Structure 1
Amino acid sequence: MKTKLSLFFIAIISYSCSVNQNKTKQSDLPIIGTWELISATTKEKDSTFSTFNPKLKMIKIINPTHFSFFQHDLTMGKGPNPTFAAGAGKYTLVNDTYTEYLEYFIHREWENNKFEFKISIQNDTLTQQGVEKVEKLGVDRIITERYKRVKN
Structure 2
Amino acid sequence: MKNIIPFLIAIVLFASCETKKESDKLPLNGTWRLISAETTEKDSSFSTFNPKTKMIKIINDTHFAFFNHDLNNGKDSTALFFGGGGKYTLKDSTYTENLEYFNNRQWENNTFKFVIKIKNDTLIQKGIEKIEKLGVDRIITEKYVREK
Q: Normalised by the size of structure 2, how large is the TM-score?
A: 0.84
Distance 1:80 1:141 in 2: 28
Distance 1:147 1:79 in 2: 27
From 120, 131, 139, give the equivalent of 2:136: 139
1:41 counterpart residue number? 38
The question of whether the paired residues in 1 share the 8 Å contact of 2:129 and 2:136 is answered with yes
Gaps of 5+ in 2: 1-17
1:81 shift after superposition: 2.7
The 5 A counterparts of 1:1-152 are 28-151=25-148
Distance 1:81 1:150 in 2: 24
The question of whether the paired residues in 1 share the 8 Å contact of 2:72 and 2:78 is answered with no
Q: Which runs of 4+ in 1 moved over 6 A?
A: none
Distance 1:122 1:79 in 2: 37
Q: CA RMSD in A?
A: 1.8
Q: Aligned to 1:136, what secondary structure does the other structure show?
A: helix
User: What percent identity do the matched residue pairs reach?
Assistant: 66
1:80 shift after superposition: 1.4
Distance 1:37 1:124 in 2: 12
Distance 1:132 1:145 in 2: 12
Q: Normalised by the size of structure 1, how large is the TM-score?
A: 0.82
Distance 2:47 2:133 in 1: 24
Number of residue pairs matched by the alignment? 130
Amino acid at match of 2:124: T
Distance 2:32 2:76 in 1: 25
Describe the superposition over 1:53-110 as per-residue Cα deviations: whole angstroms up to 9, x where unpaired: 0001000000000000000000010121310000010000000000000000000000
